[in-house]
Amino acid sequence: MNRRRVIFLGPPGSGKGTQARKIAEKSSLLPISSGETLRREIREQSEVGRLAANFVESGLLVPDDIITGVMIAGIKKLPSGTGFILDGFPRTVPQADALQGGLAAMSMSIDAVVDFELDDAEIVKRIVNRRVCTKCEEPYNLESRPPKVAGVCDICGGALTQRVDDREDVIMTRLGAYRAQTAPLVAHFARQGLLCSVRANRPAHEVEADILAILESPTSK
């Protein structure tokens, strides 16, 4: 399992990032989050960050050419033979084709795609309650994982904030974009025999157990 190359696919708020961190703690797989990578670039006001900022703040998907180049470059920087989990990428079929082409050029391939299934009402409820530490980026949820002291990170004491793209109006825009552009990836990866689905509306430990079973299965490459 430790050398697997995996994609976590699913709508925003479905728990992909949380599960990527949990799985990483139990293996040597490295989580690579497109969202965190882009937010870092936006904070640093790099060229790609400035290009991405307008799309992120409007709840729109970042164009394929921007995000694909960032993610392929990130993978190239990993130590040889390192397994990874792509969280939030690819989001469109063209991105998937570009990713798989880039991996093939490096003699790599995707071993499994885990699809997180969750309905829109639950997604909105989860996201509007999300908060993140401004210092260490530790995630919280006001309902399912509140901080011990309101507005303060348990780990570093930093202030918690709501991301600009976690408002309900922006969430609905993001979901519309997801359903239109990203959902076809389910069929795309299913045709390749890579897709495995998990129901994400259950306790986190149950979802985690299902993912570990998928990654340890001999039927995933």
Angle at the Cα of 40 (from 37 to 43), degrees rounded to 5? 150
Nearest-angstrom CA–CA distance, 7 and 98: 14
Tell me which of 22, 39, 131, 174 is the catalytic residue. 174
Query: How do 130-133 and 160-161 pair as beta strands?
Result: antiparallel
174 included as an active-site residue: yes
167 included as an active-site residue: no
Angle at the Cα of 71 (from 159 to 38), degrees rounded to 5? 25
Q: What single string gives the DSSP state of each residue in 139-197?
A: EEETTTB--SBTTB-TTT-PBEE--GGGSHHHHHHHHHHIIIIITHHHHHHHHTT-EEE
Position 102, amino acid: G
Tell me which of 5, 126, 130, 131 is the catalytic residue. 130
Tell me which of 4, 16, 126, 131 is the catalytic residue. 16
And the tokens for 53? 């900022």
39 included as an active-site residue: no
Angle at the Cα of 63 (from 60 to 67), degrees rounded to 5? 110
Position 191, amino acid: R
202 included as an active-site residue: no
91 included as an active-site residue: yes
Tell me which of 5, 22, 39, 91 is the catalytic residue. 91
And the tokens for 59? 């709840």
Residues catalogued as catalytic? 16, 91, 130, 163, 174
